[in-house]
Structure formats: structure tokens, C-alpha cells
Amino acid sequence: MEPGSITQKLFEVYLRLRPPYPGAPQTEPILHVEDPHDKVHPSHITLNPPADRRRAIERFGFTQVFEEDASQLDVFHCTDTSSLIEGVLAPQGGDGTDAVVATLGVTGSGKTHTILGSRNQRGLAQLAIDVIFRSIIDNMVESAQSPTLDSLQACDASEATLVTAPYFLDTMNSDQGATYRGSGSRSSTPMLVRNKPTTLSSSQTTTPSKMRPKAQQMPGSFPDSDVTSPKSHSPDVSDFIVPCDPAAEYVVIVSMYEVHNDRIYDLLTPASKSPNNKDYRRRPLLYKPTELSPDRKVVAGLRKVVCTDAREALLVLEAGLQERRVAGTGSNNVSSRSHGFFCFEVKKRSFGWKNNSWSGSKLTVVDLAGSERARDAKTQGATLVEAGKINESLMYLGQCLQSQSEISSGKQPNIVPYRQCKLTEILFSNSFPSAAGSYSHVPRRNPQRGIMIVTADPLGDFNATSQILRYSALARDVTVPRAPSFSVNMLAPSPTHSTQHTRPFGNAGFGSMRSHFSPVNATEERVTMEIAALEIARMSEEIEQLRDEIEVQSEARIAAEAHLLSTEDRMIDMEAAVREECAIEFEQRLAMELARFKASMQIEKERHEEHWDRKVDILERGLESGFEEGFDKENVLVENLTQELERLRRENTILKRELSSRSPSKRKPLEEREDFSMPAGPSSKHDNLAVSTLGRKLERIKISDGSRAGVGPGSPKKIRRLVARRWEDSDDA
Ligand SMILES: Nc1ncnc2c1ncn2[C@@H]1O[C@H](COP(=O)(O)OP(=O)(O)OP(=O)(O)O)[C@@H](O)[C@H]1O
């Protein structure tokens, strides 16, 4: 089945009329309860427009109408809240069925009174807590401490943090434990001590502030949760018990949250100081499917308190109500500025299975904020914006309820448009069976059962009341107004004017008319009067219709403005989220790029080092090889020179011999001769000089040889060869 399509009524709708305010002026009520005829309880009312309004008379049908004198207990019993509790406790085994009890109405019409009661009377929430705990008292778990707490935590599908009631209350009461809202909260409606309630003025804002009075010091207007006080039992339901599963042990988990400006805030988690400014703020929570609840959305991340008796649950409820946003308006001194959701999850598991999983269902009691007209409520600033948001969400809720009644009367396709805002999503999304086949690993849950109690003030504002009734009623008839009575009066001949008819229309003066008076004229005039009267009636009708239209249009404009504001808010949120996402992505990419850059730098560095190492190697090798080469060259040179020197010496000896052999008698011995004399000094110098002298000598010899060669026969090559041979021969010799 498509989500949003229905096969049965999603909410039973009841109407509760509030008694007049003490000291309220005696005026004609706009609402009249119809005689039930053959039925026991009335179920229809008629909405009569005030005498000065020309509007249709409307008739609305509900499951039941509670008149002004109906008590809290009447409402509890007749709305069959006990059967909802029975569905939650699931006495026949299984998970049971979730239930929702909500109130809807114009501001000040008694919604909070019905749900949370007042100083002397308990509301449906307290009565339900009482009945639930009385019914399961014999099957309650022995202790909510570990390991029970751990097993409950493991089975919680809403990513919640579970704490035990004693721990929660201790934390709340400790001075440093938490930061709670004081003024501007439902602090005037707790249940412990009978101090005078705080009266809130319209100037009080709904911004959370750092304050936490101890539970015992809180001013109260709710019934006493002190079990010894008679007020704590009023009305008394002690003889009322609902059957529970005898094979199971139970525990109750309390959680509370509010929907304010289309955002969900936990009422049991203290506000924390925002880093940017000194305000104490709560973090909005998400309404989403989770791993353990893939087929159903849940408010994720709540703080839930495990309670084992009614007193603990009431104290937790009271603590959460301290956080609820309220403000004084022109219509109500303590007006709820948010939709409050108080959830009592009844968890059960089979006896003897200490580690098996917990299942169960929950009862949610909802105190909706009231619709209001800015003009009447005299709200401004933030409270006016809140009012716009409240009206917008109630308009969407109205559309859902209207579609329910239109579907059942066959006027509309089988779809409930509940995804338009958080309020309708939370109220309706569990009203439908989960899609067949999907999430086979998760047990299929029954669609929730719902009760909507519409509250109305019979002496209240006609337009606001008619609007609420129009979209909440299960059935509606419209009776077209009769012909305007004044036209009939006008048509009737006036005895005083039997002879002198006044003429309301026409340019002619009164005197001129009278001068033309005749029976024929009288008939004509009567016809004219008739036409005029009909025209007046038609125009008045038109004016009324236009007036209605204007009212509808201005309501629509307010709703559209509120929608615009919420859309703007959503866009700002989205922008912030996108910016944050971009910043995170940018930082991630930057980090990645930096890492990549560092890695490539490292690689490059290593490559460079390697390159340089290789170069140095090559250089070293080059240097080594170069040195060796140079060394070798030098050695070769020295060797060559030595050889040359040896050769020259040999040559020298030969030459000496040659010279001495030419004419030894006529010549001085070589040592005595000037050109062969050896200078004194180191042997090397002496050698060098000798070599150079020898060189010169050789040169001369060559020249002389050359001159000889030029004169004698044969080539110089031949001569040199001959000479060399001769030297070789001499060497040999
Ligand atoms: N049935 C009733 N019997 C007695 N007193 C009632 C009843 N209904 C409402 N009241 C009183 O009327 C006053 C306003 O009622 P309440 O705060 O319940 O209105 P509301 O619809 O919750 O308003 P809002 O939407 O502004 O929060 C309270 O003082 C409450 O005690």
C-alpha cells in the first residue's frame, strides 16, 4: 500500500467544549450541542454565526462531543484511552500497537488542561501513567540498572541514550548538572509543590535561559505527585486496571520532545552553551529511519529515562515540562508555543530470558500548540513568528484530518498529505502499515491507533473555532441561510406609511414623490421597493461572502508568510549545511592534495638525491680514472724521457768515441775542452745542462751531417740509416 493511503480512520475525533472562563461576559454561545436522540452521547454540534454575521449555519459530526461539564475522567473513559493502553501492553503477546492521544484547538480552549490537567485535576497523561504502572506492577522488572539498562539500550531503535530515573533526577537536581530553562517554560504547571503559579507576561521570551530550580522548589499548578496527597489521585483511577501479558516482564521508558518552528528538540536533555554566543541552545534532532528501524521514522538521539514506578515517571514528566516553551499572550497567560510530545514506551520481554531482546509499543500523548489570530493574541516579534509557524503546521494537520474525512466520504483519493511538516510527519507516518515485502528482517508493526480531542470554547472567537471545526470534524453539513428578514419587513406595507410611502431610491425628492402619488404609482413603487430590497439582500450576501473570502485569504496569507519564513529558515539551514559540507570536503581535499604534494616532493627529493649520488659516483669514478690516467701519462712521459735520456747518453758516448777516434793527438781530451766541461753542482742540473749542451752539439752535428749529406751522394734517410747502423754496431761493440 502506498504510504499515506488509508483503509480505516487514522484518528477518532472527539470534541470537548470548555466551561466559560470565570467572570466571562454572558454572551450567546456560538456552539450548540445537538440532542443525541437515540444515542447515549451527543456527537453533533451546530455552529451558529453571531447575529451580525450573515453566514451559513454549519453542523459538525464527531465520534463524541463532551459538553462543558464533562470531567477529566469522563474524557479518559469515553475516549477509550484504556483500550489504547491495552493495545500498548499487548496482553495477548506480541509487540502491541502504538497509540497517540492528541489535543487540537484554538489557543485557550483547554488542550493543555485535557492532556496535563491543572492544579486540582490530573490530565490524560497522568491518568495514563497511573493506569499503565498499576496494570504492570506485578510484572515490573526488578531493577532498571545494568544489565537490564544495557539490554534496553541495545534494543533501542532510536539511537537514544538511556538512563535510569534515579540517575536522571539526581543529575537534574544537582546544581551543576544541567542548564534548564526557567521563565518562559511550563514551569507553572509541575506537580510537586503548591507554590503560586508564575504569571507570564507577553514580554517574556521563549529563549532558553540558564536556570534550574530544584524539583522540590518548583512552583506548581499540576496535581501533586506526592502519593500521600489526595490531589495526586484526582480523578481517581485506582480501581481501573488494564490486562497485561502474564508471561512478560515490563519496564517503562519516558521520553519527551517538542516541535518548535518545525524543529524537534529534546525536553530531557539540558541546553548547552553555543560556542558563538552566550545563549543556551538545544540541538535540533532528526526524524528519520534508523538501522534498527528501517521501515519507520523515529526521533533519533533523544535522552530516554527508564522508570520502574509511576512517581518516577511523573517526576520525569514534570522535569521535561520545565523545558517546554510557553509564553504569555493576549489569549492565554501560559500559552504553549510548541507542540509537546510525551512518550511512554512500554518495553516487555519474556520472563526468564535475561538476555533476550525487548519489544513493545508506546503511548504518545501530544499537547499541540493552539491556533491563534495575531490580532487577538497581540503577539509580536519572535512570538508572532512562532504563531505563524504554529498556524502553518496546524493548517497542514487540518489538511491531513480533512483528507481523512473526505476519503471516508469518498470525495478524495486515498492519500493523506502528511509529509508537509514535522508535526504531521510525526503524527501520521506510523499510521500506515509498512510496505509489504520490504525489510523482511524487521518485524512488521501494526499501524498506530489515534485519538484527536478537539477543544473549543463555545463563547470563543467564531472564525477561529469554525476553522478548526471545519478541518477536524469527521462530518460536516452546511445549511444555506434563509432569505434576509429585513427585506421581508421592507416589503410589508407599513401602517404609518400606508398613505405616504418613503422612497429610498431615486433622485426625485420626497415632496415631488408625494405630489405624484396615485394607486398606480404605489404599485410601481412597491415593485421598485421589492427589487431594491432583493438587491440589498443580494449585495449584503455578497458582502458577507467577500468578507469571508477576505478572511480566508488573509489566513492563507499568514500561512503563506509563515511558510515562507520556515522555507527561508530551511534554506539558511541548508546553506549552512552545504557550506559546512563544502568546507569539510575542501579541507579533506586540501589535506589529500598536501599529502600528495608531500609524497611527490619526497619522491622528487629522493630522485634528486639518487641523481646526485650517481653524479658524485660518476665524478668520483671519473676523478679516480682521470687521476690514474694522468698518473699513467706522467709515468709514460717520465719513462719516455728516461729512455730518451738513455738514448742521448748512448749517443753522447758514441759521439765522444767518434770524436776521439777522429784525431786524438791533435785534440784536447773531452773533459778539458770548454764545450764538454762539466759545471760543478747537483747532478740533476749537471745532467740537464749536459743534455742541453748535448742537444746543441747534436744540432750542430746534424747540420754538419746535413751539409755533408747535401754534398755527398745518397738520400739523407740512407745516411741516417747507415749512421744508426753504425751506432748499433758500435753499441754492440
Ligand atoms: N474543561 C476545563 N475545565 C476547567 N478549566 C479549564 C478547562 N479547559 C481549560 N480550562 C482552563 O482554561 C485555561 C486555559 O486552558 P489551557 O491552557 O488548557 O488552554 P490551551 O488550549 O492549552 O491554550 P494554548 O494553546 O494557548 O496553550 C487554563 O487555566 C485551564 O485550567
Is 697 annotated as a binding-site member? Answer: no
- Lowest average pLDDT, out of 334-343, 481-490, 614-623, goes to 481-490
Q: How far is the CA of 112 from the centre of ligand 1 (A)?
A: 6
- Is residue 531 in some structural domain? no
What CA–CA distance (Å, rounded) separates 355 from 369? 42
For residue 369, which atom of ligand 1 is closest to its CA? 25
Please count the helices (runs of H) and the strands (runs of E) in the chain: 16, 20
What CA–CA distance (Å, rounded) separates 246 from 89? 10
Contact in structure between 101 and 84 (CB atoms under 8 Å): yes
Angle, nearest 10°, between helix axes 716-732 and 519-662? 70
The average confidence (pLDDT) of the chain is 75
Q: What is the mean pLDDT of residues 594-599?
A: 92
Let me know whether 614 and 684 are in one domain.
no
For residue 21, which atom of ligand 1 is closest to its CA? 12
Q: Select from 14, 113, 116 the residue to mutate for testing ligand 1; criterion: most ligand atoms less than 8 Å from CB.
A: 113
Cell matching residue 487: 427585506
Please report the pLDDT score of residue 127 as a whole number: 94
Q: How far is the CA of 215 from the centre of ligand 1 (A)?
A: 24
Let me know whether 652 and 676 are in one domain.
no
Q: How far is the CA of 83 from the centre of ligand 1 (A)?
A: 26
- Is residue 518 in some structural domain? no
Let me know whether 157 and 222 are in one domain.
yes
What CA–CA distance (Å, rounded) separates 216 from 418? 41
Is 177 annotated as a binding-site member? Answer: no
Which one is predicted more confidently, 723 or 71? 71
Q: Evaluate: CB of 105 within 6 angstroms of ligand 1.
A: yes
Q: Select from 122, 332, 397, 457 the residue to mutate for testing ligand 1; criterion: most ligand atoms less than 8 Å from CB.
A: 332
For residue 114, which atom of ligand 1 is closest to its CA? 18
For residue 329, which atom of ligand 1 is closest to its CA? 26
- Is residue 215 in some structural domain? yes
Q: Evaluate: CB of 110 within 6 angstroms of ligand 1.
A: yes
Contact in structure between 67 and 17 (CB atoms under 8 Å): yes
Q: Whose CA is nearest to atom 14 of ligand 1?
A: 108
**What's phi and psi for 179, nearest 5 deg?**
-120, 110
Report the candidate in 273, 382, 388 with the shortest Cα–Cα distance to residue 325: 382
Q: Evaluate: CB of 151 within 6 angstroms of ligand 1.
A: no
What CA–CA distance (Å, rounded) separates 389 from 421? 10
Q: How far is the CA of 220 from the centre of ligand 1 (A)?
A: 15
- Is residue 487 in some structural domain? no
**Residue 464 scores a pLDDT above 70:** yes
Let me know whether 707 and 591 are in one domain.
no
Let me know whether 547 and 675 are in one domain.
no
pLDDT tens, residue by residue, 201-218: 333 434 343 333 333 333
Q: Whose CA is nearest to atom 9 of ligand 1?
A: 110
Is 110 annotated as a binding-site member? Answer: yes
- Is residue 400 in some structural domain? yes
Percent of the chain residues past pLDDT 70, beyond the cut:
67
* DSSP structural state of residue 65: E
| DSSP string of 655-723, one letter each residue | HHHHHHHH-TTTS--GGGSGGGPPPSS-HHHHHHHHHHHHHHHHHHHHHHHHHHHHHSSS-HHHHHHHH
Let me know whether 443 and 568 are in one domain.
no
- The H-or-E segment that residue 453 falls in is strand 449-456
The residue written with cell numbers 750542430 in the block is: 700
Is 111 annotated as a binding-site member? Answer: yes
Across 241-294, where does the E strand assignment appear? 248-260, 263-266, 272-273, 280-281, 286-289
Q: What is the mean pLDDT of residues 452-460?
A: 93
Q: How confident is the model at residue 508 (pLDDT cuts 50, 70, 90)?
A: very low
- For residue 596, give its domain range: 536-660
Q: How far is the CA of 679 from the centre of ligand 1 (A)?
A: 144
Let me know whether 108 and 134 are in one domain.
yes
Q: How far is the CA of 262 from the centre of ligand 1 (A)?
A: 24
Q: Print the SS3 string covering 558-577.
A: HHHHHHHHHHHHHHHHHHHH
What CA–CA distance (Å, rounded) separates 280 from 270? 9
Let me know whether 465 and 547 are in one domain.
no
Please report the pLDDT score of residue 315 as a whole number: 92
Which one is predicted more confidently, 308 or 671? 308
Q: How far is the CA of 562 from the centre of ligand 1 (A)?
A: 25
* DSSP structural state of residue 143: -
Q: Evaluate: CB of 339 within 6 angstroms of ligand 1.
A: no
- Lowest average pLDDT, out of 530-534, 628-632, 672-676, goes to 672-676
What CA–CA distance (Å, rounded) separates 364 from 413? 28
Q: How confident is the model at residue 703 (pLDDT cuts 50, 70, 90)?
A: very low
Angle, nearest 10°, between helix axes 310-323 and 124-136? 150
Neighbours of 294 (CB within 10 A): 14
Let me know whether 238 and 100 are in one domain.
yes
Q: How far is the CA of 200 from the centre of ligand 1 (A)?
A: 15
What CA–CA distance (Å, rounded) separates 371 from 397? 11
- The H-or-E segment that residue 306 falls in is strand 303-307
Q: How confident is the model at residue 434 (pLDDT cuts 50, 70, 90)?
A: low
- Is residue 95 in some structural domain? yes
Please report the pLDDT score of residue 548 as a whole number: 78
Q: What share of the chain is helix, strand, coil (3-state, %, to 5)?
A: 45, 15, 40
What CA–CA distance (Å, rounded) separates 478 from 377? 29
Q: Evaluate: CB of 72 within 6 angstroms of ligand 1.
A: no
Q: How far is the CA of 334 from the centre of ligand 1 (A)?
A: 9
Q: Cα torsion at 170, 171, 175, 178 (round to 10°)?
A: -150
Is 108 annotated as a binding-site member? Answer: yes
What CA–CA distance (Å, rounded) separates 444 from 436? 9
Which one is predicted more confidently, 6 or 311? 311
pLDDT tens, residue by residue, 385-397: 777 788 888 888 9
What CA–CA distance (Å, rounded) separates 103 from 326? 16
Q: How far is the CA of 333 from the centre of ligand 1 (A)?
A: 10
Please report the pLDDT score of residue 76 as a whole number: 94
| DSSP string of 26-64, one letter each residue | ----SEEEPP-TTSSS--EEEEPPPTT----EEEEE-SE
- Lowest average pLDDT, out of 33-42, 87-96, 655-664, 706-715, goes to 706-715
Q: Evaluate: CB of 333 within 6 angstroms of ligand 1.
A: no
What CA–CA distance (Å, rounded) separates 647 from 641? 9
Q: What is the mean pLDDT of residues 548-576?
A: 79
Let me know whether 475 and 600 are in one domain.
no
Which one is predicted more confidently, 719 or 409? 409
* CATH number, domain containing residue 90: 3.40.850.10
**What's phi and psi for 370, nearest 5 deg?**
-90, 145
**Residue 512 scores a pLDDT above 50:** no
Contact in structure between 348 and 361 (CB atoms under 8 Å): no
**What's phi and psi for 648, nearest 5 deg?**
-60, -40
CA distances from 49 to 55, 100, 292, 307, 462 (A): 6, 33, 52, 49, 7
Q: Cα torsion at 349, 350, 354, 358 (round to 10°)?
A: -20
Q: What is the mean pLDDT of residues 241-258?
A: 92
Bridge partner residues of 306 (DSSP) = 164, 253
Angle, nearest 10°, between helix axes 519-662 and 381-408? 110
Is 209 annotated as a binding-site member? Answer: no
Last residue of a domain, one of 642, 660, 678: 660
Which one is predicted more confidently, 422 or 184? 422
Last residue of a domain, one of 660, 677, 702: 660
Let me know whether 170 and 149 are in one domain.
yes
For residue 336, which atom of ligand 1 is closest to its CA? 27
Domain count, the chain: 3
For the whole model, what pTM was predicted? 0.63
Q: Cα torsion at 615, 617, 622, 627 (round to 10°)?
A: 140
Report the candidate in 228, 187, 188, 220 with the shortest Cα–Cα distance to residue 311: 228
- Lowest average pLDDT, out of 214-218, 561-565, 656-660, goes to 214-218
* DSSP structural state of residue 325: B
- Is residue 311 in some structural domain? yes
Q: Which of the listed ranges 67-71, 150-154, 691-695 does the model predict with the highest average pLDDT? A: 67-71
Q: Whose CA is nearest to atom 6 of ligand 1?
A: 110
Last residue of a domain, one of 479, 498, 524: 479
Let me know whether 366 and 422 are in one domain.
yes
Q: How far is the CA of 362 from the centre of ligand 1 (A)?
A: 26
**Residue 507 scores a pLDDT above 50:** no
Please report the pLDDT score of residue 334 as a whole number: 65
- Is residue 491 in some structural domain? no
Q: Whose CA is nearest to atom 2 of ligand 1?
A: 18
Q: Evaluate: CB of 398 within 6 angstroms of ligand 1.
A: no
Please report the pLDDT score of residue 336 as a whole number: 77
Which one is predicted more confidently, 621 or 689? 621
pLDDT tens, residue by residue, 618-654: 888 887 776 666 666 777 888 888 888 999 999 888 8
Which one is predicted more confidently, 367 or 193? 367
Q: Evaluate: CB of 108 within 6 angstroms of ligand 1.
A: yes
**Residue 306 scores a pLDDT above 90:** yes
- The H-or-E segment that residue 436 falls in is none
Which one is predicted more confidently, 526 or 223? 526
